[in-house]
Every structure is written in structure tokens, then in C-alpha cells.
Amino acid sequence: MVVLAGPAGAGKTTAALAAYEHFAGEGPVATALLLVPNRPAVEQARRALLERRGQGVLLGPRVVTFADVGSAVLGEGAVRYRRIGLARRRVALEQIVADLHRAGRLQALHSVADAPGLVAALDTAIAELKRSAVEPDDLGAILSPHSPAKHHDLLSVYRAYQQLLLEEGLYDTEGQLWLARLALAEGAELPWPALRAVVADGFTDFTPTQLEILRLLGARLERLVVTLPHGEAGQDGHRWHWTGRQLGRIQQAFGARCAVVPLTPARRGPVAELADGLFQFELSDGSSPADAVPADLCGALRLVSAGGVEAECRAIAHWAKGHLAAGVRADELLVLARDADGYAGPLARIFAEAELPAPPISGPLSETPLGRFLLALLRLGDGFEAADVLAVVGSSFLRPGA
């Protein structure tokens, strides 16, 4: 196991792509996997690999997500299991809640058993438990008679849901990786012939199940390469608190077989340093997020703590409605989200409830004209190369007077 650790701009992805190309070989079927966090990252990685090929041809690239790994492993050995669809999963949870309510086994949730948002909240909570590899018995072991009643209700729903999956030979998205981990631990054959290496890029952390799958795969391969955003403790060390914990978990899982290679970014110019510093808010113990906002940004920036996508979207709708009421035009407001898939639905629904027009989806920021201009502007910080200068001065977004 090799961990390529470094801050943004250190060349982690470039090194990961080079490692993948080295182990994938030149044959029609790659003998390496490039593992990325999600489906948009798959397309981005394929484009990056294609751009690195002088011929403009890429044969059989194996760029996958953990879900793809789970499907491939289960497709080889555990054919008796079937995936439960999203609709059936919701219907199953609704039936479980109704059955527990009729049996008088809901302590805190009995008064909201028919509320439309309850099943969605339970679904989210169970998915988070499964991503953290917390089984019903594990949750039951840490609850006491004095634990909040809603936690005991969650445990009851979770137990019944897991029992249903086992009885009907089903698995959900999170449980798919559990089964894949179990199959690999029991010695299932790898579904990729002559696989030599796995390269994981773009992750800031791994769930316990994902990390165990990496460990099981690494035991059978020549090399396992993982990139991780991380820097020296003395250099903006607060940034690396969480990834530092993840690095510790990786080192604990792999022991002496883990080597950490620190990567240092090239010298950065003043524009790039400005971009880096924009969101450096070091929170001291006991301070509120508002205390961390630089004085010169207090009038332009507000930090909101929200639990989950729904709460975030409601905060955004409240913010937008306040601005519209103050006379700001709708086309003067911009909503940026981490990904369109996770936010488009909740934003449209919650904005409609607030009697606001839903924000139109215009694609990734980096693919919009303004986004391309901002990226071109940031590239100036690395030395004012001729091509970068031309990209900036040729844009209609540039104000020459500025």
C-alpha cells in the first residue's frame, strides 16, 4: 500500500493516473483498476486518461466506483442475492413502521408514524449506519435503557429491515459492499483476470467497509495506491485534521505494508495563494463559525450549520427569499451545489414549497463560461504563461479596467 499524501496542486492525481497506466499495461484489457468516488468522477477520470494518450485512443479503461466493485464481486459468486430497488426499499420501510406502530412498539415515533417525512429520515439514518459498518447488534450493544427513545425506535426499524433483506435474499446499496467484503474475505475469485493493482484517487476518507475491501484486495495484488489530501502539521494543520485521522486508519489497517509518500506542491503565484486563502477559517476551540470569518468578509459571507441536504436546501431557500423580498432580482442570485444529482430534487421541491422558482441546473461550474474564466484566472498564479494570459484577456468576462 502506497499513500500519496499532499495538498491541492501537489500532483496526486497526475501521479495516480501515471500509476494506473503503468500497471494497466498496453493490452486490450487493463490489468489495473482506477477507483474513484462517484459516477461523475468516472467520466472525468476517463477524459483525463484519454487526454494523456497521444493517439487519442483508450482501450478498455477500467475506471470504477466501489459500487462497481461490489457488483462485480457479487456477480461472480453471490448470485442468490438480488438488489432491492429504491421504491421497494421505501415501501418496505413504510410497512415496517406501520407494523411496529400497530404493535405498540414505537416509543417516541408513535405520534409521527404517519408523517410523510419519517420514512425518508429513517432511510437516511439506516444508510448512514450501514456506511459506517454498524450492524443492528452493534447499535443495540451501545444503547442503554436510558438512551433516547427515538434511538430505540430506530433500532427496532433497522432490525426488522435487515431481517427482511436476509429472509428474501436482498441487498441494498450499502449492504452490497458488506456482501462483497464477506465474499472477498471468504476467498472469492477476483472478477478481473490478471489484475495487478488498484489505484484509488479523489477520496478524502473511506468507510470501514471500503477500507476493509481495499485491505482484502491489496493482499492479492502487486500494488495498492491511494491519494489523500494531507499536508504537514505545521502548514495549515487544522485543514488536515480529518484526513489525518483517515491516514491513521489506513496505517493501522495495513501496518508495516503501508508506505506514505509526501508530495509537495510547486511554488504558487499570488493569485493562486489568494484562492487558497479564501476559505481558510481556522476554528479555535469554543468559538462559533461566525468568529472565524475574516473581518473584511463579515459583510459578504455567512456560515450556516445544517444537518443534511434537506436542511441545507431550506437554509438556501430562506436566504433567497430574504434577498428577493429586499428587491434583488432572481437572475442576480446563484446557487452552487456539490453535485446536481443530490441537490436538484430537494432544491426544486423546497423552493416550490417556499413559492420560489426552482434554480435551473446549468451543469458543473467548471464547464460554464464564467467557470472557465475563473479557472483561467487562477492559472495565472503559476507564472503568467502566455497561453493562460491569452485565455484571460480573450474572455468577455474580463473588465480591462480592473
SS3 label, residue 262: strand
> pLDDT (tens digit, 0 to 9) for every residue of the chain, 402 residues total?
999 999 887 889 999 999 999 999 877 788 999 999 988 899 999 988 888 876 666 677 899 999 899 888 887 444 467 788 888 999 999 999 999 999 999 999 988 888 878 999 999 999 889 888 888 999 999 999 899 999 999 999 999 999 999 888 888 888 888 888 888 998 888 888 889 999 999 999 898 899 999 999 999 999 999 999 987 655 455 667 888 899 999 999 999 999 999 998 776 666 666 666 655 555 545 555 555 555 665 566 677 778 888 899 999 999 899 999 999 998 888 888 877 778 888 888 999 999 988 888 777 888 888 888 888 888 876 677 888 888 888 888 888 887
Q: How far is CA 237 from the centre of its chain?
A: 22
Calpha distance 9→223 (Å, rounded): 24
Strand pairing partners for 3?
226, 260
For residue 43, CA distances in Å to 40, 236, 310 come to 5, 32, 27
| CA dihedral angle for residue 328, residue 330, residue 334, residue 339, rounded to 10 degrees | 150
The pTM of the full predicted model, rounded to 2 decimals, is: 0.63
Q: How many other CB atoms are there within 10 angstroms of residue 83's CB atom?
A: 16
For residue 399, CA distances in Å to 85, 229, 389, 392 come to 52, 35, 14, 10
Give the up-direction half-sphere exposure of residue 281: CA atoms within 13 A in the CB hemisphere: 18
C-alpha cell at 356: 420560489
First-to-last CA distance in the chain? 49
User: Phi/psi of residue 139, each to 5°?
Assistant: -65, -40
Q: Name the amino acid, one letter, at 254.
A: F
Q: Can you give the pLDDT at residue 367?
A: 81
